């Protein structure tokens, strides 16, 4: 059953801008924002990612979340898609067409710099900056990012220190008062599913499973209990592991004994 979080909303009069890819993490962040802010906009980026399926899922996730609650539907504002050419023009990365992932170096393999070859350098810093720029004239100060330090494949721009430094740089450099919200920062993927359940019950978990997209290979043909994906890439393995842990935690917390009279 969906919690009525509206009664504990100190931010009901404010607007949030969610950096929204259509993946599990940003879908959960969108729900988190809809439960807190009076108005919520979504911002996505076409930066030359290998698969456009992620972009196609954005609208379906938005529609699915709006369908869960009239209040959420009312709060959900416009969706914006910005084109970033930086990676197309200079990127050498697994998730962009000019990338280095091949049969010889599969997705997730460790590159020469010690990071997974799925790391897109500076991506979250660039997204945060672009979000701040877009929000500036509209006086939107709440920016929501689905980054996560605990279970993030080791991407340095997902770390708490990186995001705190970005917030400081934005506020100093733009003489602004942005607040960068990162509701998933200290959660693992199991915790992210549990957060979704707290926010919107089993219906939200089901909507995220069905409509969000995480797979690096762009696979939408094969449906697992945790959603669509190849099942082999690092993102699928992380998502599958987290969902299994979430289900196991649910089973463990279910009352198995008959309550005593």
Residues at the contact surface with Zn ion, assessed by CB under 5 A: 215, 217, 229-230, 233, 236
Q: Cβ of residue 213: shortest distance to Zn ion, in angstroms? A: 10
User: CB-wise, 200 or 229, nearer to Zn ion?
Assistant: 229
Q: Cβ of residue 241: shortest distance to Zn ion, in angstroms? A: 13
Task: Give the three-state DSSP class for 203.
Answer: helix
User: CB-wise, 221 or 259, nearer to Zn ion?
Assistant: 221
User: CB-wise, 50 or 62, nearer to Zn ion?
Assistant: 50
**Residue length of the chain:** 261
Q: Cβ of residue 50: shortest distance to Zn ion, in angstroms? A: 12
User: CB-wise, 181 or 239, nearer to Zn ion?
Assistant: 239
Task: Give the three-state DSSP class for 23.
Answer: coil
User: CB-wise, 182 or 214, nearer to Zn ion?
Assistant: 214
Q: Cβ of residue 239: shortest distance to Zn ion, in angstroms? A: 8
Task: Give the three-state DSSP class for 124.
Answer: helix
- Taking the C-alpha atoms of residue 166 and residue 145, their distance in angstroms, rounded to an integer, is 12
Q: What secondary structure letter does DSSP report for 219? A: -
Q: Cβ of residue 234: shortest distance to Zn ion, in angstroms? A: 8
| Dihedral (CA of 3, 60, 21, 101) sign | positive
- State how far Cα 50 lies from the chain centre: 18
User: CB-wise, 135 or 215, nearer to Zn ion?
Assistant: 215
- Can you spell out the DSSP letters for 170-201? HHHHTT---EEE-TTTT--HHHHHHHHHHHHH
Question: Strands 227-228 and 223-224: what pairing?
Answer: antiparallel
Q: Cβ of residue 80: shortest distance to Zn ion, in angstroms? A: 27
User: CB-wise, 183 or 227, nearer to Zn ion?
Assistant: 227
- Taking the C-alpha atoms of residue 60 and residue 79, their distance in angstroms, rounded to an integer, is 12
Q: What secondary structure letter does DSSP report for 148? A: -
Q: Cβ of residue 55: shortest distance to Zn ion, in angstroms? A: 17
- Can you spell out the DSSP letters for 56-118? HHHHHHHHHHHHH-HHHHHHEEEEEEEE--HHHHH---TTSTT-S--SSS-TT-B-TTSSBTT
């Amino acid at each position: 059953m969906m919690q009525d979080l509206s009664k504990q909303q100190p931010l009901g009069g404010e607007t949030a801008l969610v950096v929204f890819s259509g993946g599990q993490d940003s879908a959960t962040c969108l729900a988190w924002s809809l439960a807190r802010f009076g108005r919520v906009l979504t911002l996505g980026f076409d930066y030359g990612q290998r698969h456009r399926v992620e972009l196609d899922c954005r609208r379906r996730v938005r529609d699915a979340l709006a369908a869960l609650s009239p209040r959420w539907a009312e709060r959900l504002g416009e969706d914006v898609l910005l084109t970033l050419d930086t990676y197309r023009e200079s990127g050498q990365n697994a998730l962009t067409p000019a990338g280095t992932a091949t049969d010889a170096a599969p997705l997730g393999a460790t590159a020469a710099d010690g990071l997974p070859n799925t790391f897109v350098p500076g991506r979250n810093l660039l997204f945060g900056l672009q979000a701040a720029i877009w929000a500036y004239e509209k006086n939107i100060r709440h920016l929501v990012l689905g980054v996560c330090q605990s279970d993030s494949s080791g991407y340095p721009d997902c770390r708490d220190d990186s995001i705190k430094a970005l917030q400081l740089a934005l506020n100093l450099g733009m003489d602004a008062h942005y607040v960068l919200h990162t509701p998933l920062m200290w959660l693992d993927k199991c915790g992210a599913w549990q957060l979704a359940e707290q926010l919107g019950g089993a219906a939200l978990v089901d909507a995220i499973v069905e409509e969000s997209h995480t797979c690096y290979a762009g696979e939408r043909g094969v449906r697992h209990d945790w959603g669509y994906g190849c099942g082999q890439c690092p993102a699928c393995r992380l998502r599958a592991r987290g969902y299994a842990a979430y289900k196991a935690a649910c089973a463990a917390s279910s009352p198995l004994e008959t309550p005593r009279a």
